[in-house]
Structure 1
Amino acid sequence: MTAAPGRRSSTFTRLLRHGFTDASAAERLLDSPELAPLRDDPVLLEALGGTADPDLALLGLVRLLEAQRSPGARRELLDTLIAAKPLRDRLLGVLGASTALADHLARHPDDWQALVMYEAYDLHPGVEEFEAGLAEATDPVSLRVAYRRCLLSIAARDVCGTTGLAESAAELADLATATLRAALKIAEGAAPEDAALCRLAVIAMGKCGGHELNYVSDVDVIFVGEATEGADETQAVRAATRLASHMMRICSETTVEGSIWPVDANLRPEGRNGPLVRTLSSHLAYYQRWAKTWEFQALLKARPVAGDLDLGAEYVAAVQPLVWKAAERENFVPDVQKMRRRVVENIPVAEVDRQLKLGPGGLRDVEFAVQLLQLVHGRADTSLRSGTTLDALRALAAGGYVGRADAAQLDEAYRFLRSMEHRIQLFRLRRTHLVPEDEAELRRIGRSLGLRADPVADLHREWRRHAGVVRRLHEKLFYRPLLDAVAQLATGEARLSTEAARERMVALGYADPASALRHLEALASGVTRKAAIQRTLLPVLLGWFADSADPDAGLLNFRKVSDALGKTPWYLRLLRDEGAAAQNLARVLSAGRLAPDLLMRAPEAVALLGDGDGGGLEPRSRAHLEQEIYAAVKRADGGAQAVTAARGVRRRELFRTAAADIVGSYGTEEQPAEADQGALVDRVGGAVSDLTAATLAGTLRAVVRDGWGEDLPTRFAVIGMGRFGGHELGYGSDADVLFVHEPRDGVDEREASQAANKVVSEMRRLLQIPSADPPLLIDADLRPEGKTGPLVRTLTSYAAYYRRWALTWESHALLRAEPVAGDEGLGRRFIELIDPLRYPADGLADEAVREIRRLKARMESERLPRGADPKLHAKLGPGGLSDVEWTVQLMQLRHGSAEPGLRTTRTREALAAARAAGLITDEDAATLDEAWVLATRVRNAVMLVRGRAGDTFPTEPRELAAVGRYLGYGPGHAGDMLDAYRRTARRARGVMEELFYGIAER
């Protein structure tokens, strides 16, 4: 019967609206005799439109109706479809999602009745219900039919949303369990004499063992066999092997009803090369002597499922202690990480972007990360010992091992990716983890997951979004450096056992174990999430503190920081999750006083130690710092508040610089100690100098704003001198400066001078306001006429002075002059003014050379502190900073006019230029450079360790050891450090005497 054209047009439109893609074919099917009673039923179209593929569902329904054995059977099915919405949704849902199950229903047309029941046990069946469903299977063929019938009910609940991903996966695992039991029963029935000789236990592994099976997957198993009482063990194992082999064939072989799934026993000891069945003692002997890391990871999901369940329970109980000790194996974490990388590398290139399971951002990334965290932390925390991925992830979050937000994102992504995998496999009941490329298949998958607006585009978007989340969190969790450190702890240490804690503290080098234990108790006691995370962190941190010269100080400082940030949600999460943050913090807190003192005044700076939005430990540029300080000054109410804000930036950036210096000197597991010590010194000098310049610039702007708005009557510039101008400031250095101004057009010089002097006075006053921060002292004693001369001069006054009165030492001092703040044009003109003085066109007269030498000799004899060991004085001692700098500066004064490379304020740059110009040999240049870098590092180390500046090595043993640790010397090697310094300085003094004092004139 053909529908009228008008009705066809109306039906055609309705079909398209309900999601049919081939409305013409659908119309023909609706016109078939089998569907006559439903043709005009709007409920049918609505139900079909709710399926993943309405065209497929309609075709499957027609096939099922055609396959009914009698008109009465067909009528019964139609009546039930009309009357029972649950059946209608289940049946059509399955037919629209799976051609394989539609084929099964066409072959076994009565099996639709398996979907009629709507009882409690039907909603959440377990192993017993599935065993009942398989009870009548007596051979492989009938077992396959019964298996598909049970699978039909699981799929129906799944596609209708009656069960979620986790419940469906658990039901599939329970069905696999029932199937293994039925197959073993058939095998035993075929060989009762073998069954009488042995006890055989089937241990489920992988996803079946973890109660999270796919629709189509290998079912991984291990077999354990024992002789029954009175039987010979060898004969029993052979009998068990025959039974196991037969059971595997029953499940795996293809019959007229297809296959169920392969049973894979390759996870057994020695893999496919090992015996299929072993006794319990043979298993244990192998695991204790020969097992590889991945085998223990696999055993995490072991679960007895069939055969002799008591023997299976014995097996699991015997291997579990080995599983939870696996993390203590040498290189355990790197081995697991390497295995994961190898899996990705072996994916065919053409499949990488379509792999749901093995590819980057795939299911394995979640599973491996969760399993690694379980194996490392589950030794001490039994709540983590679940074989089910999502349950284990939930436990890891509850225990504080994974952040709640991270766990929630991983859970959501894992459920989505597994749901995709289920829908892909359900279609043809084939084992695959590749996302199809066919648009119709993608549309069906998208609709099945509730993506109806634009199924293909929405599916790709959601898939990539979730894969991106998984990849990011996998990298964060799976390659977390803390993991390897925790794994290397003994189980007792991981539990922070108080019984052995005192001895452990003494062994680690803690001088006051009683105080250390009190700190641990305060940090880690209780049942809060914060305490749980601390219990994870502390065993590792204790070891890192112990690697320093003062473990007690490290632990005390950690407690202070933790107390200060105790209610801040990101703090412990940062240490647990964010790259090397925990180890960086341990290094910083135990390296001396300066960095911890800075951190205590701004604990939120801990964020800089991670890899996230805090910017890490890379120093900020001067432009970036100035911009931030200017913004803070603009918001401030008055000069004092502005300088306080600028000091806050300076405090944070000093901490950043000190932390980077310490980490670069100590090194971490992720990043070894920096080999180029000169680069470390240059980075510190540049960062502190830029920070000082930005602070002065901000202070200058605040003073000008408060006194004159934006219209200062004179141009004003600050010129850096000494180490400041040379970009070589240390943590405790004063800032040597000159102040210069130039009246604006039409401004009286007296008015301009008054304004400039007021600016200088106010800047000095504001910077000298008492503060807990490290002081920033500006020293203008290098100005013309020294302390007796005016603090600020006009450019014209400087020119007149230098033209008439400049002394040799002033030309010498001007070698380091560089504008650092204020009017850039004025700063450039000042440099143009002084260049002829510091780089004289005719070089340096002999008398001037002799004068410089006299000044140097006088400084050595008069300025060295009384009682100081000259050979260990990093600044004024033989071979110290002064020797190197004066030698280099003498070459600059003599040859700077002819050699442009020498026209720099930086010592190491000038030394390199002198070498390039042939003014010094490569060997001598290297000697001087090594001595200068070492002396600078000694001064930086003293400031970091003691919290105050110093030019010589400390005498207190712990402080000396801390300086040694910074310089790369381990415990007990302080003497070696001092000897090495003396040798380096002695060689540099020899070069200096030859070059500077002219013992061999060059």
Structure 2
Amino acid sequence: MLTILDIEPHLKTLPEALQEPVKSSLENWQTLLNQNNPNLNPSDKLIQSIPKVWCCSEFVAESCTRKPPLLVDLIDSGDLEGLYSEHTYPTKLAHLEIADETDLMTKLRQFRCREMVRIAWRDLAGWAELGETLLDLSLLADTCIQAALAFLYRQACELRGTPLLADGSPQQIVVLGMGKLGAYELNYSSDIDLIFAYPEEGALPDRKETSYSEFFTRLCQKLVKVLDDITVDGFVFRTDIRLRPFGDSGAVTLSFDGMENYYLTQAREWERYAMIKARQVAGDFRMGAQLMAMLKPFVYRRYLDYGAFEELRSLKLQINQELKRKDRLDNIKLGPGGIREIEFIGQAFQLIRGGNEKALQTRGILDVLAILDNKNLLPHVDAEQLSQSYRFLRRVENHIQQYQDRQCHDLPTSETAQSILAYSLDFGDWQSFKSELDRVRAAVQSIFDQVFAVSKQQKKGNLSQKIWSCVAEDEELKSYLEKGGFQSAEETLKAIKDFKNSTALRRMTTKGAGIIDRLMPQLIESVQQADNPDETLIRLVKLFEAVAGRNVYLALLSENPDALNQLIRLASASVWICDYLALYPVLFDELLDTRTLYEPLKRDDLNQQIKALLAAIDIEDLEQLMIALRQFKHLNVLRVAAADIMGLIPLMVVSDYLTYIAESIVENVIGRTWLMLTDKHGFPPDTSNDNINFAIIGFGKLGGIELGYSSDLDLVFLYDCPDGNAMTSGEKPLSCSQFYGRLGLKIRHILDTKLLSGVLYDVDMRLRPNGDSGLLVTHIGTYEGYLKNQAWTWEHQALVRGRFIAGDQRLKTHYESIRHRILGLTRDETQLKAEVRDMREKMRATLDIKATNKFDLKQSKGGIADIEFIVQFGVLANAAKQAALTTYTDNVRLLECLAKEGFISPIEAETLKTAYCTYRDIGHKQVLQGDKAIIDEIEADGLRKQVEGIWHKVMGSAGN
């Protein structure tokens, strides 16, 4: 039998000033307990815990004193010292017999009181980790909501009839738990935020033809009453339904259609934050899954939403102002460095990146912080600090609330309460606790300020602000610009003013205009570090005007000074970058991470990335596939361009990378298109997903591994099958020739269809047999016959750079044998030379520029085309005798082979290689500056004359 004598030795562990009041309270409890004559035999561990729990929670002490059997039951059942599973609460409630609504309210409150005593006891005694406490509180709330709803629904259906879904099955509401309840993070004396919805509208077959809306509204109102009303037994959970659509003025519950319409058209930005943690806690879970899927796009945008930083910063500022007004800055939830700041940090990244980073579509803040750490979105030390701080602050919060079961987040002001709180958290006194709390809050606030750049927003340069605001005379503003290093101050000021008064800015929302007003002073100040500040600022102003309707990208730059500085560097070096970002602003996010921005992916990495990207897209979702492929291309081309602009990779590597990107895309387009068609039509005979009897051959720059930034793809589609009339194996069979024709059409459609996100590649298929009038896909046997018997010399020239790109490896071997045989045909060298020379003259007459003193890098005499034609002639004239000339497809290695075989001298080969690489390097740089591949003749005079000389020697005097 437990007596006060058993407990008394452990009272000495309490602070001296608290020992007597606790002893007095325990003696009172002991007197009342003895009246029930319990046979109570608690463990030593439990006896030792009693003084601390009694001291730290008036709620526990009063609950046990008011109802002595409560603690007896907790001890005898083993619940006090044992762990609960997720099924424990529902099992315990299921044993209760409920007579009516009044009985329901009574027994739920009694059940809640028992379990809250248990949870507080385990926490204060140090038996439960924070995670257990929060989960138990959340599961307790779930169970009470579910039990109350189930009873009230049965009662309502018996009274008025059962609402039905369109399929005739019973219809029930869906209850969403918001905030900490939704995230399984409920604090000890928290209220619960609920939103109600029902799947379909309709009417009951009663006399009044009661609408489902009315039926479910009454049901929800009763549910709130059962949970929230205060009776002699207290309450179950304070219940708040103000987060519903339209808040207090809105309907208590809406249909799914009504919910979708609201969140798509009228919901406010802060409601996105509320929805991050939304979770179904009761009702029809099958229909609830549909509702949650419908709401997800509202929360997680498909693009990176950096406007979330400003929204959350603004919300936090409002909270701080309200706390200051009420003198409540010691609020550990909402005050500086409090719980809400940690949650805002996690939510900001979730809202910004959650649409792309699926892992961030989770509810618990500790899980979010771990993900941010693993993905290097937060420095490890910051993520660790925030996690530790969150655990500490949540324990403080729970202990404050466990003292009197009050929803309070303010630190206590009385000395007794302060002493009790410090003791409950294992601190020697209030000062030592307060010192640690201040340290934790300062650390959180510091990270919060870094993430949200609060201080930076308040410290912008006055001069830059004046220039953007145009609050001084023009002469004074131009003087400011000149002092900042701007050489063309008048032109620059005009560009700023034109932008400020542009139609694009006038159409911006108030929110967007605010972002611009923060961003432009930052730009004016930061761009002064560029070598060409005037030109760079004008380029960026044009870019900002192009994306002015999309606040998210401007917010990214405003919120991330490093990203803005990266953009300034790139814009200073290349106008092409600005044009590219204007076309594909989704790439702005790439500016954040310099580790990936300047490191283009190698072929294996590209394939790995694209396969992971496509794995997340449904096989039938053609539009999403095309969008994803375009984003993949744009992203990786930007990386190549950035590295190129900064001189981090040489010319040959630029072309290699651009070619790898195209090859990866083509290879994966074949794979996905094959799956689409075989899923619908079945497989052609003797094929599988590994043996598709289809190949794509690349010519020109793709075949020569020499792609540039704006190159198109010269392609030929080949297939092989014994019988073109044989049928595929599916439910909707096609002949093999039809099947491969459709395969080619779909591949081309994916590659060159123009979407808002652009085209993947312009595709040129005029090199297929019979050109534009020929079949899109050619049987490989027919292809060889055409090349041998019908092809023109220029088509054999093109074959010099023909290379297998993707498809069935067996066709690769077959194609390469054909190429070797065709290139190795014996030719009349004099006739061949005349035909090649005539073709070059026709090209030059049609394509060369007419401007005086200008040099077209490709088409002018002594340019790239002359070098290519020399190589092609050399291969066609000598491959019959020198089979090694059919090995390569790129001009540089072919020149080396031609020198080795004696067609040209090593010195001539080196001259042509130097000219070829120089021209291409200049051409790349011209593109990146937004210019055509045309330069002043004098710039290439030496190389041009050398190439002309070699052309004259090899090809003869005609045309030179």
**What range is the shorter-chain TM-score in?**
0.3 to 0.5
Per the normalisation by structure 2, the TM-score is: 0.47
Q: Which has the larger radius of gyration?
A: 1
Per the normalisation by structure 1, the TM-score is: 0.45
